[in-house]
Amino acid sequence: MEVKLHDIGEGMTEAEIVHYFVQPGDAVVVDQPLVEVQTDKMTAELPAPANGTIEDVLVKVGETIKVGTTVLSMITTSQPTSAVSEEKESTIEQQWQAKTFRIEKRKQPILASPYTRKMAREQGVNIEEIKGTGPAGRIVDEDVYAYVQKEKESLLQENSPTQQVMKQEKEIHIIPFKGRRKQIAKKMKQSLHTIAHCSHFEEVDVTNVLQWKEQSKQAGKNVSLTAYFVKAVSLALKDYPIFNATLNEEKEQIEVQTSHHIGLATNTEEGVIVPVLKHVEHKSLLTIQAEMRALTEKALHHTLSREEITGGSFTISNVGPLQGSIGATPIIHHPQTGIMAFHKTKKRPAVVEDEIVIRSMMNVSMTFDHRVADGATAVQFTNRLVELIEHPNLLTLELV
């Protein structure tokens, strides 16, 4: 009896021979899987139409054949010796032709070569559990090797003495996701889902402002760099007020704030909190320093009032003192338009008047709402801020 590739539905015209479950000489029973084939839409098993013995395999693994091609031949248990036997065999053949094959349909067919499939079977791996890294998600040999190696490492780790000890202990430490942490997450999600974030970066030579700070300290006026940055941001906002605005989508208008209420991102044990320094445009550096220090102390001791954490129009984040960041893409404090981060200062070679000198350099990153402002304006705003920081004497010219 010939076992042929029949139309197994889905409008197929050809299929690839993936794997044989039997070899010549094997005894088989009716409905026993004989061969696995792969079409462009499904994988199917061709079962034995009757009891018997496999006589010959006619198509090699990996070959693609048309519907109607004989795949293998088999000798049935009862050889036809009369018209009755011939009629019985004819009946079996008709049943075989009309038989519904056991088909495993998948939403997305598994793409893999016959050799890769064989490799997976030899390793005892279910190929459906492997994620392909080849074109169109095709599973390649390396994917099988990686999967097997990962499983072995997992077993070794689970059975290691250290893991056995750890299993006796609590496997996870629960941190309640509530309170300030949950509120921070809520605000961050709202900001990212609402505002069209866009970030750009710049470097600043802070050598002169560090010298100015040291001179002020020697004169008995100890002012931090953060206080200077806050004032410089305020002066830059005076020239580019679009970044001191909020977008009112309901009224379809951009509302520019006339006062500079600068938020100060402050790291606490329970997460970042942003106290707001109000009316910076009217305050001196010494006043900014004193009020900023008071707000930071309140933030660390959780004593800020509602008035002191609301109403911000622009936010800054000075992560330089942490000595670990050279750049970031800060998330805007909704519904503000901009946020600027100041990163760590590091001495490195720089070109000044065509000479290489050692300067104290700092990176800054600016994130803005691209719905409200354009990139060119953001660059101009940052350039103005850099100018004020690199030339501290300009600050005095802006004070009224």
Structure tokens at 12: 């197929």
From the list 267, 185, 234, 268, the residue with the least C-alpha distance to 338 is 234
CB 119 within 8 A of CB 143: no
Question: CA angle, 29 as apex, 28 and 30 as ends, to 5°?
Answer: 130
Q: Residue 79 contacts by C-beta under 8 Å, 6 or more apart in sequence?
A: 85
Q: What is the largest CA-CA distance in the chain?
A: 122
Give me the helices (H) in 61-140, please.
83-98, 114-122
Query: Which residue among the candidates 7, 40, 56, 374 is catalytic per the annotation?
Result: 374
Catalytic residue flag (residue 370): yes
In order, the DSSP letters of 279-312 are: -GGG--HHHHHHHHHHHHHHHHTT---GGGGS--
Torsion sign over Cα 293, 299, 301, 306:
positive
User: Which amino acid does the sequence have at 85?
Assistant: S
CB 364 within 8 A of CB 356: no
Query: Which residue among the candidates 197, 200, 370, 391 is catalytic per the annotation?
Result: 370
Catalytic residue flag (residue 7): no
Q: Which residues are registered as beta bridge partners of 350? A: 357
The catalytic residues are 370, 374
